[in-house]
Amino acid sequence: MPAKLKVKAENLHKSFTTGEGRLEVLKGVSFGVKEGEFVSVVGPSGCGKTTLLKLVGGLEKPSRGRVTIDGRPPDPSRHRLGFVFQEDSLFPWRTVWENVGFGREVRGMEGEERVGELVGMVGLRGFEHCYPHQLSGGMRQRVAIARALAVEPDLLLMDEPFANLDAQTRWILHQDLTRIWEEVKKTILFVTHNVEEAVYLSDRVIVLTSRPARVKKVLRVKLPRPRDKLSGELVRLRREVVDLLREEVPYL
């Protein structure tokens, strides 16, 4: 049986009013994300990738068009959404354990055992009682991922979560995120400016045009996991995405 559609974006338009007039960010963006799928969104800087993620998460409303999750508009009362941003936004006065469990506390969810499972899953066993200032950047992002997963989300939305990390830490977290995704079977929509990251992690890559963004192309990554970043097919796909982006931004 084919996987059902988890996210559907239909003819999304988004404009903002600025001091200089009307700024059109998205223009007729349409796509779908299947249940359990890992989909990345790439595009030129400033094209509206984060705005698109906010529309899917219900943090912004479209000017025209619609987004649905499981057939209904995004709504915190119906959907549990997990967010992971570029900045980890951990509470500095709470330990790793307390940060991971925060969302469950707010929602009145039982399950100290689940918090412990997630701390272990992201490789932080032994650091449960540490505070954010005692952790590296990569460790803090692991906490942020565990915190997002702790609410048992219908959909995980990730906005350039590894952008501030060094290359070695980012590479390790790519492998860890793949493993975690395969374990928890969650649907992930992942925004990134890093082409290698998008191709390595994803089932499909949505390439956006320059602002106002439209869907330029959707590439399917038909490669088994675990993946080799130096494999010929992965390198070819990276080159295809880069060439698509260069058509939008020639100086890339």
Q: How high is the pLDDT of residue 88?
A: 81
- Give backbone dihedrals phi and psi of 75, rounded to 5 degrees, phi first: -155, 120
Q: How high is the pLDDT of residue 249?
A: 80
Whether 53 and 208 have beta carbons less than 8 Å apart is answered as: no
- Per-residue confidence at 242, pLDDT binned at 50, 70, 90? very high
pLDDT in tens, 138-154: 999 999 999 999 888 98
Q: In this structure, what token pair is assigned to residue 208?
A: 């956006």
- Average pLDDT (1-8) is 82
- Per-residue confidence at 89, pLDDT binned at 50, 70, 90? confident
Q: Please, what CATH class does the domain formed by 5-79+155-248 belong to?
A: alpha beta
Average pLDDT over the chain reads 91
Closest CA to 137 of 179, 90, 181, 103: 90
pLDDT in tens, 95-136: 999 999 988 888 877 767 889 989 998 999 999 999 999 999
Looking at 15-19, 54-58, 64-68, 98-102, which range is the least confident one? 15-19
Q: In this structure, what token pair is assigned to residue 53?
A: 């993620």
- Average pLDDT (2-14) is 90
CA 186/CA 103 separation, integer angstroms: 17
Top mean-pLDDT range of 38-42, 72-76, 158-162, 221-225: 38-42
CA 68 to mean position of chain CA atoms: 17
Domain residues of the chain, as ranges?
Answer: 5-79+155-248, 90-153
Q: How high is the pLDDT of residue 1?
A: 56
Q: How high is the pLDDT of residue 154?
A: 85
Radius of gyration of the chain (CA): 18
Residue 237 bridge partners (DSSP): none
- Per-residue confidence at 19, pLDDT binned at 50, 70, 90? confident
Whether 36 and 185 have beta carbons less than 8 Å apart is answered as: yes
Whether 101 and 110 have beta carbons less than 8 Å apart is answered as: no
- Could you tell me how many residues make up the chain? 252
- Per-residue confidence at 80, pLDDT binned at 50, 70, 90? confident
- Per-residue confidence at 196, pLDDT binned at 50, 70, 90? very high
- pLDDT higher than 80, residue 190: yes
Q: How high is the pLDDT of residue 2?
A: 61
User: Using H for helix, E for strand and C for coil, what is the string for the chain?
Assistant: CCCCEEEEEEEEEEEEEECCEEEEEEEEEEEEEECCCEEEEECCCCCCHHHHHHHHHCCCCCCEEEEEECCECCCCCCCCEEEECCCCCCCCCCCHHHHHCHHHHHHCCCCHHHHHHHHHHCCCCCCCCCCHHHCCHHHHHHHHHHHHHHCCCCEEEEECCCCCCCHHHHHHHHHHHHHHHHHHCCEEEEECCCHHHHHHHCCEEEEECCCCECEEEEEECCCCCCCCCCCHHHHHHHHHHHHHHHHHCCCC
Residue 155 bridge partners (DSSP): 81, 187
Q: How high is the pLDDT of residue 9?
A: 97
- Give backbone dihedrals phi and psi of 160, rounded to 5 degrees, phi first: 45, 55
Whether 140 and 85 have beta carbons less than 8 Å apart is answered as: no
